[in-house]
Structure 1
Amino acid sequence: MDEKRGSGDPDTPDTGNGGLEGRSESLEARRQRLDSELLARRKVEPGKSSGQSSAKGFALAVKLSSEFIAGVVVGALIGYLMDRFAGTAPWGMIVFLLLGFCAGVLNVLRSTGAVASSDPSGHSRTGDRSGDRK
């Protein structure tokens, strides 16, 4: 336990910075290598920055929420007008509000692609032919 710091040889006196010069050079080289590896990993593909992806996510959220709200509002408006002119209050409002809610959910599912919408000829909007399956 009588070893002194420095070169590691117990007979050599410690000069204070005996092994630090060699250590600092290797430390500096390792630090530069680490910096270059971190820069290589942090590089993002051109055209795909975090700001653009968050803006696209926000735009999608606004689109989906507006489609849902529009379905509910249109259903409530139709129900209110039906109640007003036919005198069936509050049943028209209740029925058409529920129908508007269902229409809003269906619009959101169509927009996200969870439900494929098809035209009357049997072709879906994505190009898949549901009527031609064998």
Structure 2
Amino acid sequence: MKSTDRIGSLAVPDKPWRVQVSGKRAIREDPWRGRTYVAKFHPRATHAFRVDAPDSVAEEIDEALGRAAMYARSSESLGYPHALFRAHQDLKIPVQERNFTRLSLFEGLRAEGLNETEIRSALDYHEVLDGLSRR
């Protein structure tokens, strides 16, 4: 996803954007009826985000992402929907529990065939959010 974020931001500078990435490898045993996107919600955002949309939403994805973008203007986390940022802050688990859970998650994802780079890139933005709360 990092490469999609970087390429998208270079191709469409200073504007929100989205690209469909459905069909990539996913850890699911049953077929999922939806589409996956990478979206940048604000022109000055530093990150783009994975968005999983069920088919009923995917049919109107521009409207759905446009509505999400309206809530991604907070200076606390520019480009990330503010309600999700607040939920992350309010529901954070203690550091020791987080580290244990993270280690267990890494081991489980490695067992599923993901390498460390893939795992870390999936978790990176939560680390960014944690850093923002320490300011």
Q: TM-score w.r.t. structure 1 length?
A: 0.22
Q: Give 1 or 2 for the bigger CA radius of gyration.
A: 1
Q: Tell me which of the two structures has the higher relative contact order, counting C-alpha pairs closer than 8 angstroms and 6 or more residues apart.
A: 2
TM-score, scaled relative to structure 2: 0.21
